[in-house]
Amino acid sequence: MSGLFLVLTAMKKILLVLFAMLFLASCQNTPNDETNKETSTSEDTNGIPSSKLDSINDLLSNDELNAEKLVLRAKVYLSANNVNAARVDIAKAMQLDSNLALVYEARGEMSFMLNKGRAAQKDWEKCIKLDPKNSNCLLNLTELYITVNNYERALEMVNRQLEIDDKDPQAYFMKGIIVRDDKQDTGLALQYFQNAVDLKQDYIEALDMLGVTLANRGDTLAPFYYKRILDQQPQRWDIYYKMGAYYMSQNEENRALEAFTQATQINPADAESYYSMGYIHLTLRQFAKARDLFTQSINARDRNYKAYYGRGYSHEMLGDVINAKKDYQKAIEILPMYTPAKEALARINK
């Protein structure tokens, strides 16, 4: 009887480890860079829609010494990641009018794209000094201060923007981020995220943040916001993954499996969803199915130590000690300090 108790205790511990890794993965709410890219069939070699660039060039054709128009063209170049062309126009505009707030706005955006945060900060601060009601510079500074965890300054900037425009959804969204991360007040943060969505019904980032925050609180409203995103962007596999993680946390295994399956159908390289389905089947003691799903997770991302660990445990429960040992060793090879795999290997060897 004592031997059976030890086995069951070890199994519970292993499942807790696997679930902890799943929970951490579900908190990552940033989709792949390729998730929402849109292509245009009428772009020039710089990736800029021809009609947009032509319209600005027409404005400049008889007015090449207009600093404001040069800045507008520079911002078009920046939108297409053509930094070199933007730099030329910004330099010209700066020579023509060094007191134009738009010049500092654009140069700050260029610096930010080049990961020169300090230079961007200086330009945007100069921008609002010249034009205290420049919303772009205020919001850019808010985002920058959030990035470096300077929440006091971030709150100052976003409040100034809300004084200018109390119907700005982006400002409410950023204020929600600030109170969540600085004050640890998720209740108030949810109110600000909801304000953003009320003002802009298709505000994807705010809908996502509402879903994630509510899911972390175990709130039954979380799927509602995920579904609103999917209504607009049905190919968002990452949202299906988050929905699956929520249902899993609520012990709704069937709904979770449906969501994870949908995610993998859209994105066959979604290693996390395969791993999550493997974990569910472990809890159901369906070890052969779990093993196969962990294998799919490994195929999607080879250096996947937690999937090797899960598959190793599946092998172990199926009595295949040789392959279990190989998978535990592989997990340790990928992450040498991975204690659960070390303990599992020691258990097998013993």
Q: Please check whether residue 20 lies inside any domain of the structure.
A: yes
Q: How many domains does the chain have?
A: 1
d(CA 121, CA 108): 7
Q: Please check whether residue 281 lies inside any domain of the structure.
A: yes
pLDDT of 350 reads 81
The burial class, CB within 10 Å (0-12 / 13-18 / 19+), for 70 is: buried
pLDDT of 20 reads 52
Q: Please check whether residue 210 lies inside any domain of the structure.
A: no
Residues in contact with 94: Cβ distance below 8 Å, sequence separation at least 6, in sequence order:
67, 103, 107
Other residues' Cβ atoms within 10 Å of the Cβ of residue 123: 25
- Kindly state the helix (H) or strand (E) to which residue 149 belongs, with its residue range: none
List the beta bridge partners of residue 43. Answer: 49
d(CA 136, CA 219): 34
Could you tell me the CATH number of the domain that includes residue 9?
1.25.40.10
CA triplet 74, 70, 40: central angle to 5 degrees? 40
DSSP characters over 292-333 = HHHHHHHHH-SS-HHHHHHHHHHHHHTT-HHHHHHHHHHHHH
Q: Please check whether residue 159 lies inside any domain of the structure.
A: no
d(CA 346, CA 350): 6
How would you write the pLDDT of the chain (350 residues) with one tens digit per residue? 434 333 444 555 555 555 555 545 554 444 443 444 333 333 343 555 555 566 656 655 555 688 998 999 899 999 889 999 999 999 999 999 999 999 999 999 999 999 999 999 999 999 999 999 999 999 999 999 999 999 999 999 999 999 999 999 999 999 999 999 999 999 999 999 999 999 999 999 999 999 999 999 999 999 999 999 999 999 999 999 999 999 999 999 999 999 999 999 999 999 999 999 999 999 999 999 999 999 999 999 999 999 999 999 999 999 999 999 999 999 999 999 999 999 999 999 88
Q: Please check whether residue 211 lies inside any domain of the structure.
A: no
Contact 229, 211 (CB under 8 A): yes
Name the nearest CA neighbour of 248 among 229, 230, 222, 269.
222
d(CA 4, CA 6): 5
Q: Please check whether residue 276 lies inside any domain of the structure.
A: yes
Q: Please check whether residue 312 lies inside any domain of the structure.
A: yes
d(CA 243, CA 212): 9
pLDDT of 33 reads 39
Length of the chain: 350
Q: Please check whether residue 241 lies inside any domain of the structure.
A: no
pLDDT of 57 reads 63
The first and second tokens of residue 347, run together, are 């258990």
pLDDT of 65 reads 80
The domain of 299 spans 1-29+268-350
The first and second tokens of residue 306, run together, are 């937690």
Q: What spatial distance separates the first Cα and last Cα of the chain, rounded to whole Å? A: 19
